[in-house]
Amino acid sequence: MQRLRLKADGRIVELRDGQEFPLAPAMPFTASVPVGAPVETAAPPAVRDLRRRARLTQQQFAARLGVPVETIRNWEQGKRMPRGPARALLAVIAHAPDTVFAALARA
């Protein structure tokens, strides 16, 4: 089981043997973002791409994340940008979607 930690500066790190290792997404969101880049300069997650890779409709994706479908629509249309915990969750989904969806299903 992979252990992840969200750092105060927005980075996600993997915990192995008591040490932290930067977590780089398996597939970049929309642009190449250096590991450890501040949240403000990182490219926003391509929510539509993440949802399509998971083969989910907007309604299904919203239900799995526990947010209104309007939120997903606004993110995909660029009317709003994911912030804070939602942004971190999307970053983890980009790296390990099956693990995240399994964990959310149990919650």
DSSP letters for 23-92: PPPSS-SSS---TT--GGGSPPP-HHHHHHHTT--HHHHHHHHTS-HHHHHHHHHTSS---HHHHHHHHH
Q: Which residues are within 8 A (CB) of 101 and not within 5 positions of it... i.e. 6 or more apart?
A: 54, 64, 93
Higher-confidence residue of 44 and 96: namely: 96
Alpha-carbon dihedral 83, 62, 57, 52, rounded to 10 degrees = 30
Architecture of domain 43-106: Orthogonal Bundle (1.10)
Q: What mean pLDDT, rounded, does the chain reach?
A: 80
pLDDT digits 0-9 by tens, 22-68? 876 544 444 444 555 544 434 556 899 999 999 999 999 999 999 99
Following CA atoms 30, 32, 37, 41 in sequence, which dihedral angle do they give, to the nearest 10 degrees?
A: -50
Predicted pLDDT of residue 36: 53
Domain boundaries, the chain: 43-106
